[in-house]
Structure 1
């Protein structure tokens, strides 16, 4: 599968379904900024750019009228939900079909803190995973506390690490691009958090059965509460 197919598979988006912007909106964006979008980013906007769960569950793909160019020459197209981190592409790289993406880890435009992330296709998958485990996928959970080495080793042995979208501080694992695990690591490489997500309840239950974690949040608990409320209303 290519990166677009992996994203569609993870979110259950059929190949024949389009969740994109209108061509006219992309043209308006390019005219407004006097740029041409990279082929990959243009394709993403035109096919998946308006899918709510994928692009707006937590972090945000910038809508076409919100895309902007920073004062130091980056095309800014994605931002963290609180605006602390944002992602962009150098203007001189825009003609590359799959240019490198940089993350600015400062919300002060005058003093940016740029870090090289991944090529654009891989970065879009990474951002899709982050949004998925943080609410974009129907079944998701997290624990923002230390995760024991035995759990980390179990994950390493039973899920595939996606090295093309992993870093020393955030490692991502999958089974069949249908379930995702993201592990956070501190500077001493101790696991300091875990995020999981899938659109399949059986897969989710299986993950919970095999991961010995004191979860901070599980989406199924919200679902169960909603079911209880509906039953009370029916009585």
Structure 2
């Protein structure tokens, strides 16, 4: 009997270790962007208490809370991640992220809470919810890029710049487009040549431009390039 029990424990540990390593790799893009080397998140008890309230929570959301949930520059530079205990229901959605002035909120359908990596929906003011991203991972990557560009990084531009389509074309020609975007609240795209930097273009008549980096040299290179294009300040 003891041998059977021991085998069960060994088998559980054997499969648990690869799962844990895989979950730790989920947010490698965000961790590289902000030079995160250890978990800065909520403890298991806090996350389990929230899961008990809702019955179940998506695996990606739980892992995000545990690994990155208490990193203020990632989660509070402009918009705000709701803490596990502060998740709330709005219609048929559980809200986990809000715009800093309450103009928008992002949530998961209650019926999707059982999914590992469910779609994310956005609502503006009294509007209906609309699909923001196909999954949570895509949302967290895109929102983190927004937070990073919005003065969340160690080295950040001091102003919001206004540029034309002509100048935006120059940025697209110099920097690689990242595969994450936000569309419902604001239309924005992101660019970079290094894993710890971001340039954000936000559609606003023409474009609003913001940028930053965790690396001083990479930031200086972006600044030198930005100085070569025509731009206005707000």
Give the TM-score normalised by structure 1: 0.80
Instruction: State the alpha-carbon separation in 1 of the partners of residues 108 and 231 from structure 2.
Output: 39
Contact 2:107 2:120 in 1 (8 A): yes
Deviation (angstroms), 1:39: 0.7
For 1:181, the equivalent position in structure 2 comes to: 199
Deviation (angstroms), 1:124: 0.3
How many residue pairs get aligned? The number is: 206
Structure 1, unmatched stretches of 5+, are 218-235
Instruction: State the alpha-carbon separation in 1 of the partners of residues 44 and 159 from structure 2.
Output: 41
Does the alignment pair 1:93 with 2:112? yes
Q: How does 1:6-45 map to 2 (within 5 A)?
A: 6-14=29-37, 17-32=38-53, 34-45=54-65
Deviation (angstroms), 1:21: 0.6
Instruction: State the alpha-carbon separation in 2 of the partners of residues 215 and 55 from structure 1.
Output: 29
Q: How does 1:68-217 map to 2 (within 5 A)?
A: 68-70=88-90, 72-106=91-125, 111-118=126-133, 119-141=135-157, 144=160, 146-165=162-181, 167=183, 169-186=187-204, 191-211=206-226, 212-214=229-231, 216=233
Contact 2:143 2:182 in 1 (8 A): no
Cα displacement string for residues 123-170 of structure 1 (whole angstroms, at most 9, x for unaligned residues): 001111111111211112265454123321121112111234354921
Instruction: State the alpha-carbon separation in 1 of the partners of residues 62 and 114 from structure 2.
Output: 12
Equivalent of residue 62 in structure 1, options 82, 85, 94 = 82
Structure 2, unmatched stretches of 5+, are 1-24
CA RMSD of aligned residues (A): 2.2
Contact 2:194 2:218 in 1 (8 A): no
Give the TM-score normalised by structure 2: 0.80
